[in-house]
Copies of this chain bind each other. A is one copy, B any other.
Amino acid sequence: MDNVLAVDIGGTRFRAGLFDQSGRRLDVVEGETTRSGGRDWMLEQVAARSRELVARSSAPVKACGVSFGGPVDFQKQCVRSLHVPGWDGFELARWARDTFGLPCLVDNDANAGALGEFRFGAGRGTHSMFYMTLSTGVGGGVVHGGKICHGRDSLAGEIGHIPVSDSGVACVCGATGCLESFCSGTAIAKRAREWASRRPESAARLIELCEGDAEKITARAVAIAAAEGDPIALEIVNETAQWLARALLFVIRILNPDRIVLGGGVALAGKVLLEPLHEAMLPMASPNLPSTTEVVLAELENYSPLYGAAALAMDQSS
């Protein structure tokens, strides 16, 4: 049986993996993607580690799939990143084809995560699925009838940038009141830090978890403290759950998918987040429109996009 190469290029780390055609993960390598190195330096790292993997493969490697942690024009198979210099318009799939001599498809990490969970994770057996990734940012992907829906401008699933509030918090996308500015890991950490600076005594546990430095509080620390029952951390998680519940209700009303799968680093908090989320969704639901859409956690955790990249590769090699 042939193998495929999967690459996941994120904002801070990259991963490359070898998978067999049944989706079994055979081998993974990781590395850092420091932005200061620039695009070409980063791609050299990715290429070098990926070549090592391919060289170690016990079966021929027939195709490649790439998950990219930023906007991707799927039709044109190129990156559309406006924030990181050197990436906008870059033909990432062509680069991978030229570098590895393999057919390649690229998609953004939210769509790749959706595809990964659909084929190999918590979305197996569904006809329609929505994947929401809660990480540094908030993204999403729509699977319908076994395929990713990209939409006219490759923007389908961009749930991080729906307006959920009039409060006018500025978002990186240039709009205000976006879900991402309330629910991302960045937003959660920021809220905890604000709390710690205003009332350090109430945020003692959070500060303790972060080397005693209120400025270093992370979303991960909030999740840990919430799991321990820390009142401030729980309040922040509950507030986040309220925003998320509203956004997921939009998804249910518009798509009514079989399942909504929550992935990304923040979702690793697990039931600390999932339980208040389920609770927050109950009173918002319409009694006369009962929906059975399930809301569950991702099964592939940080590897959802890498598995999705493998699926992209497998679809070309069969």
Contacts and interface: CB of A to CB of B under 8 A. Distances in A.
B149 A255 contact: yes
Copies in the complex: 2
A121 interface: no
A230 to B, nearest CB: 28
A171 B256 contact: no
Contact of A288 (B140, B152, B173): B173
Contacts of A178: 286
A152 B257 contact: yes
Interface in A176-233: 178
Contacts of A284: 163, 175
Interface string A133-164: 00000001010110001111111111101110
A128 B155 contact: no
B175 A255 contact: no
Contacts of A172: 288
Contact of A156 (B154, B173, B256, B288): B256
A173 B272 CA distance: 30
A173 B249 contact: no
Nearest to A157: B254
Interface of A: 71, 82, 128, 140, 142, 144-145, 149-159, 161-163, 171-175, 178, 246, 249-258, 284-293
